[in-house]
C-alpha cells in the first residue's frame, strides 16, 4: 500500500479510500459507536446533554492548541540517564520531516492503549451521572473523527472548494511550510491562535529554517 498521496487530481472519494485503511479512524469510530449505543440505553436526557456539546465545541480549538504546543512539539529532555520523549512527540517530528507520509498524519494506534481508558475514566468520574459522561464520549468521538479527517485531507493534494476549508488548509500548511512556531490549530482557521497570539500576518512572518527538523 502506498504511504503517500498521488499528485495531480485527488478526489474526496480517493481520500476516503485511504482514510478508512488507517487504524485510528476505526478505533475512534468504535468508541463513538459504543458510547452512542450506551447513551441510548442509559437514557435520562437533560439540559446537560445540550450544554456539554456546546462547551466541548468551544473548548476544542484550545485543546488542539495546547496538545499541539505542549505534547506534539515537546522538546526531548534529559532527566539523569533518562530521556523524556513521548511516542506522540517523536512521530510528530517525523511528520514535520515528511508531511506527505500518510501514516504519520494519523494518531499512532499505540496512543489509544492508554488514551481510551483515560477518557472512559474521565467520563465515569468527572460527570454527575453516567449519561452525561457518555454524551461527552459521543461528542469527543465526533470531534476526533473530524480532526483525523481534516488533518489527513489537508496533507493530500485535494483542493478545497469551500472558503472555510480553504482557510483551514492554508492555516495548517503555514505551520508546516512557513513557520512551525505559529498556526497551531488544525480543524479551525486560527480560532485559538488568534486569541493566544500565534496567528501573525504570513506576509511579514519570517520563514523558519526548522519547519522540517524540529528541535535540531
Q: Is residue 84 part of a domain?
A: yes
Q: Is residue 2 part of a domain?
A: no
Provide, rounded to the nearest whole percent, the portion of the chain with pLDDT above 70: 96
Kindly tell me if the per-residue pLDDT of 7 is higher than 60: no
Q: Is residue 144 part of a domain?
A: yes
Q: Is residue 161 part of a domain?
A: yes
Q: Is residue 216 part of a domain?
A: no
Domain span at residue 67? 12-204
Q: Is residue 168 part of a domain?
A: yes
Q: For 80-95, what is each residue's pLDDT tens digit?
A: 889 999 999 999 999 9
Q: Is residue 3 part of a domain?
A: no
Residue 19's alpha-carbon distances to 14, 173, 194, 204, in angstroms, are 9, 19, 30, 35
Q: What is the pLDDT of residue 4?
A: 53
> How many Cβ atoms are within 10 Å of 32's Cβ, its own excluded?
19
Domain count, the chain: 1
Q: Is residue 122 part of a domain?
A: yes
Q: What is the pLDDT of residue 10?
A: 85
Q: What is the pLDDT of residue 100?
A: 95
Amino acid at each position: 500500500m502506498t504511504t503517500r498521496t498521488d499528485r495531480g487530481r485527488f478526489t474526496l472519494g480517493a481520500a476516503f479510500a485511504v482514510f478508512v485503511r488507517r487504524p485510528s479512524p476505526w478505533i475512534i469510530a468504535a468508541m463513538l459507536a459504543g458510547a452512542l449505543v450506551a447513551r441510548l440505553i442509559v437514557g435520562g436526557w437533560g439540559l446537560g446533554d445540550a450544554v456539554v456539546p456546546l462547551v466541548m465545541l468551544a473548548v476544542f480549538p484550545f485543546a488542539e492548541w495546547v496538545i499541539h504546543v505542549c505534547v506534539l512539539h515537546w522538546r526531548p529532555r534529559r532527566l539523569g540517564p533518562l530521556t523524556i520523549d513521548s511516542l506522540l512527540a517523536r512521530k510528530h517530528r517525523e511528520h514535520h520531516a515528511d508531511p506527505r507520509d500518510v501514516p504519520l498524519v494519523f494518531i499512532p494506534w499505540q496512543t489509544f492503549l492508554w488514551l481510551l481508558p483515560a477518557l472512559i475514566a474521565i467520563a465515569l468520574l468527572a460527570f454527575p451521572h453516567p449519561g452525561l459522561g457518555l454524551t461527552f464520549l459521543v461528542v469527543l468521538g465526533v470531534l476526533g473523527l473530524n480532526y483525523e479527517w481534516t488533518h489527513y485531507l489537508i496533507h493530500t493534494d485535494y483542493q478545497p472548494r469551500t472558503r472555510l476549508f480553504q482557510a483551514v488548509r492554508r492555516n495548517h500548511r503555514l505551520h508546516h511550510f512557513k513557520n512551525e512556531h505559529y498556526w497551531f490549530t488544525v480543524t479551525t482557521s486560527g480560532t485559538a491562535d488568534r486569541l493566544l497570539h500565534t496567528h501573525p500576518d504570513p506576509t511579514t512572518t519570517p520563514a523558519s529554517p526548522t519547519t522540517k527538523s524540529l528541535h535540531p
